[in-house]
Amino acid sequence: MIFDAIINFLEACLYGAFFWRISDKNRMKKVIGLVIYIPVHFLLFSYVNASSIMAGNLSVIIYLLAYLFLTIGSDYSPQEKLFFSIIPDLDTAVINTYLILFSSYFWLGKIDVLQMLEHHGTSVTLISKVLQFFCFRYSAEILNQKKDYLDRKEFLLAAGIGFLCLTIFNSIEELLFYQRFDGTKIAIAVLCLGALVVLSGIEIVLAVKRNQKIREQQKINDMISLQLRNTKENIRVSEALSRIKHDIRHMVSLLADSGVSDETIRAYEQELNSAEVPIQTGSQILNYILQTEQERAAVKGIHLHCMLNITSKPFLSEEDLIVLVMNSLDNAIQHISNGNEIKFTLKSNAEVFLIKVENPVDHQRFADYLDYLKQGKRSRKYGLRSAKVIAEKYGGDILVKCEDGVFSFSAVAHAEKDKLEGRKRLLDKD
């Protein structure tokens, strides 16, 4: 009796230690949960072991008790707490089942659980507690590392799969203990296996969808990375050319002392002036983007009309500035129709960064854009999608309109993410 009481208390402590390790609230609340959990767990298991070999339906009380501990000691969602509640019992079922099979073969050379426990029960029990200690510790470490990678739906499915596996192990364990045919236990195991297959199929479908999103996001990231590398390289070349032009201008100014005619000097200066970057915003990245987009539009016979209101350098990172501005202008240049002018408005100050791009569209393109808007802006174009991601990163949003034959794209970003009120008003106003 004393040995059984010690084992029951030790197991209650092992379970409690597991839930302590995965709880994420402060120490005081975890202590309160532990003080409630260990005594109740100990008393319940003492009653179970005194009355029956298997816990049976009383296991549900253990899960509810674990759920209570996690409610006190953590901020997890109900789905997460449900999943975590059954993990120690599932680990224990796996350990006990395989340990019993191995021990029976090792000591008896056959499967005879009752005889094995009669002669070697103490040794098997002590070994199982050691294995539980390491298994619980390892399980807690894995859960703490990986728990943020599952959403609530996946936690609920994982809890269902874990419960079905636990039920199967319990049915098999009872058959091993009593060593007689029990159609009910076999039927339970078979039904749980069928349900397990269904839940596993659902889990696979969710995994496929997640992988598709990951691959799609990776494509966007690769595109942005390539665009960023090209932009930085072009900026480096542009800066080098600017320095060369400055040196050449200085050399031209010295030609007057070398007897070169004024007409020749003026021709050189005119050539140099025509090569100057026409837009100066105070941001080298923004200068390059607007210059590049103007040249790209000019190749297609499109005039890019820029209206800039810049009182401070954009607070967006260089990477985000490239993605937001360049992608919105690329989209307009690519899809303009029924006109040859794109209007680009930019407002930048210490609090807000706002852009608006307008391009005319013909009747067919106008209808396509209307269909796009009716579908809830679920565009497959990486440009608009990545622009939305950047805007939301800074507590902003995008707004897409199509009115009177003009397609309009606006995006706003805030220097402080808590200033979210009125962002729609800013978009609508500008």
Task: Report the pLDDT value the prediction gives residue 292, as an integer from 0 to 100.
Answer: 82
The residue among 285, 296, 291 whose CA lies nearest residue 231 is 285
Tell me the backbone φ, ψ of residue 52, rounded to 5 degrees: -160, 160
Task: Report the pLDDT value the prediction gives residue 51, as an integer from 0 to 100.
Answer: 67
238 lies in some domain: no
Together in a domain, 167 and 312: no
Domain count, the chain: 2
Last residue of a domain, one of 180, 205, 239: 180
CA dist., res. 223 & res. 67, Å (int): 45
What are the per-10-residue average pLDDT scores of the chain (430 residues)? 86 93 88 91 80 64 88 90 92 90 88 85 91 93 85 88 87 79 78 83 81 76 66 61 64 64 67 55 77 84 86 85 85 82 89 90 67 50 70 87 85 72 48
Together in a domain, 25 and 144: yes
Neighbours of 313 (CB within 10 A): 15
Task: Report the pLDDT value the prediction gives residue 380, as an integer from 0 to 100.
Answer: 41
Task: Report the pLDDT value the prediction gives residue 35, as an integer from 0 to 100.
Answer: 92
187 lies in some domain: no
Radius of gyration of the chain (CA): 35
Together in a domain, 142 and 291: no
221 lies in some domain: no
Alpha-carbon separation of residue 140 from 21, 98, 130, 220 (angstroms): 6, 21, 16, 35
3-state secondary structure of 275: coil
351 lies in some domain: yes
Together in a domain, 171 and 300: no
Task: Report the pLDDT value the prediction gives residue 422, as an integer from 0 to 100.
Answer: 45
Last residue of a domain, one of 138, 157, 180: 180
* Global confidence as pTM: 0.56
CA dist., res. 195 & res. 200, Å (int): 8
40 lies in some domain: yes
Task: Report the pLDDT value the prediction gives residue 154, as an integer from 0 to 100.
Answer: 86
412 lies in some domain: yes
**For residues 171-197, b (16+ Cβ closer than 10 Å) or e, as one string?**
bbbbbbeeeeeeeebeebbeebeebbe
Task: Report the pLDDT value the prediction gives residue 232, as an integer from 0 to 100.
Answer: 65
Tell me the backbone φ, ψ of residue 234, rounded to 5 degrees: -65, -35
Parent domain of 331: 281-429
Together in a domain, 167 and 293: no
**Domain of 368: which CATH number?**
3.30.565.10
Task: Report the pLDDT value the prediction gives residue 295, as an integer from 0 to 100.
Answer: 82
254 lies in some domain: no
The residue among 399, 397, 319, 327 whose CA lies nearest residue 356 is 399
Together in a domain, 285 and 176: no
Together in a domain, 172 and 319: no
196 lies in some domain: no
Q: Are 272 and 249 in contact (CB under 8 A)?
A: yes
Together in a domain, 18 and 152: yes
Together in a domain, 167 and 48: yes
